[in-house]
């Protein structure tokens, strides 16, 4: 007896990623099928899981990156980034807390020094040059409220001379 080939049978409304892999969105849930078997599912607004699952299928050899980009209408570069993340960090890489850069130049220590120099009467530009900073960087930080620049007090001698 010869084995029979089973053709994949997909429900109506399914989007084919490849002839063997399909996806269906119903009632807010996205379900992925290989053949006629459901293999993954997630909420339709869960982008992290979408990227993880599609990357896993690419790395596993079930689909190509171009297939994912075409089927879901996403940029190929975002699929490539997700696959790179999966290869480097595995599934956990999609759920890790995002790294945020701290202040590169105006660290809390530098801000204290800068404010101290300006408190002695130096202009923001002069204080910046003393610390090796760009005057524009200091001016932006003052406008944004990250650095406090106290206004110079008017000397009493100046008041008397003008009056």
CA proximity to 83, closest of 49, 63, 58: 58
Residues 129 and 145 in one domain: yes
**Full residue range of the structural domain in which residue 26 is found:** 15-94
Count of CB atoms situated within 10 Å of the CB of 103: 11
Q: What is residue 40's three-state secondary structure?
A: strand
**Count of H-run helices and E-run strands, the chain:** 7, 4
The pTM assigned to this predicted structure is 0.58
**Does any domain span residue 157?**
no
Q: Is residue 21 part of a domain?
A: yes
- pLDDT tens track, the chain, 163 positions: 666 555 556 666 789 999 899 999 999 999 999 888 899 999 999 999 999 999 999 999 999 999 999 999 999 999 999 999 999 999 999 999 887 776 678 889 999 999 999 999 999 999 999 999 999 999 999 998 889 887 654 444 445 455 4
- Tell me how far apart the terminal alpha carbons of the chain are, to the nearest angstrom: 116
């Amino acid at each position: 007896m010869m084995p029979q080939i089973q053709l994949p049978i997909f429900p109506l409304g399914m989007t084919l990623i490849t002839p063997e892999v399909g996806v269906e969105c119903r009632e807010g849930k996205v379900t992925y099928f290989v053949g006629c078997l459901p293999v993954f599912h997630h909420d339709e607004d869960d982008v992290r899981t979408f990227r993880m699952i599609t990357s896993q299928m690419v790395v596993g050899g079930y689909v190509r990156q171009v297939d994912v980009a075409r089927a879901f209408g996403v940029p190929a570069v975002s699929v490539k980034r997700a696959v790179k993340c999966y290869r480097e960090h595995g599934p956990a890489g999609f759920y890790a807390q995002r790294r945020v850069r701290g202040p590169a130049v105006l660290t809390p220590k530098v801000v204290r020094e800068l404010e101290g120099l300006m408190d002695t009467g130096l202009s923001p530009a002069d204080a910046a040059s003393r610390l090796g900073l760009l005057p524009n960087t200091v001016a932006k930080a003052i406008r944004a409220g990250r650095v406090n620049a106290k206004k110079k007090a008017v000397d009493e001698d100046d008041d008397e001379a003008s009056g």
